[in-house]
Structure formats: structure tokens, C-alpha cells
Amino acid sequence: MGDPSILEMRFAALFDLLAAPETPRPEREVAFAPGRRFRFDFAWVGERVAVEIEGGLYGKSRHTTLSGYSADCQKYNLATEMGWRVLRYTAPMLNDPENVVRQIERVLNARRLGKPAEMGHTSNPPICD
């Protein structure tokens, strides 16, 4: 567990600013798998919703090595197996903070109601066609 990255601090500030007052704020650096060192950047433990800020894609980082990427895949797969819904955001995605926050709110609300989230508007361009 280290200091939050600039992107993590940016996300936290934007979420606090844009989220509806009734939307709960996330916990930081949440360990979710007993016996493992895996942590989520942000999590709503009761709803089993997590947010990962993928800042390690922009430069030399453990996330860009084969072993680091493999560890991330293991982490996300284990989280899914344990019933977590993990949302991942990159720096360009945070340029549309309203969309990011509304997506998180839709997923949180759907988890509380026990149904799938409905797809909302996204202004993020598709990565692949």
C-alpha cells in the first residue's frame, strides 16, 4: 500500500464533487482476498463494487511487464470469482468525469437492487471497432 497516484487523487476529487449526495463514498486501498496482497484502489464493500485507476499504462511500471499484467489478470479474475464487479478507468476516461461517476452510480444502484445495470450514455470513443 503506497501513496495514492495523481490519477487516484484526481478520481477521488472528481467523485466527491460530482457524485449525488446520497451516493456513498468509497473506501481506499481495500484488501479483498484473505491470504493475498491484492487491493482495490477504491471499493464499496457492501455492494462488492470496485474501481481500479489504470495509471500504470503510461510509462514504466509493474503493470506494463508481463508478470505485472499477469498478476493484474489474476487479481481481476479472482475478484470476479468472489462476486466483485470491477470498473477500470484510464487517464483519458477521467477526462469525462460525469460519465465515469454516473456509470459507477448505475452499477452501485443495480447491485443494491440485485439486477444488471442499464447501459448509459458514454462519450468515450470506442477503443476497438
- Give pLDDT tens digits for 24-81: 999 999 999 999 999 999 999 999 999 999 985 555 555 567 788 899 999 999 999 9
Helices 6-18 and 97-113 cross at an angle (nearest 10°) of 70
Who has greater pLDDT, 109 or 58?
Answer: 109
Asked if 106 and 118 touch (Cβ cutoff 8 Å), the reply is yes
| CATH code that applies to domain 6-113 | 3.40.960.10
pTM, full prediction: 0.84
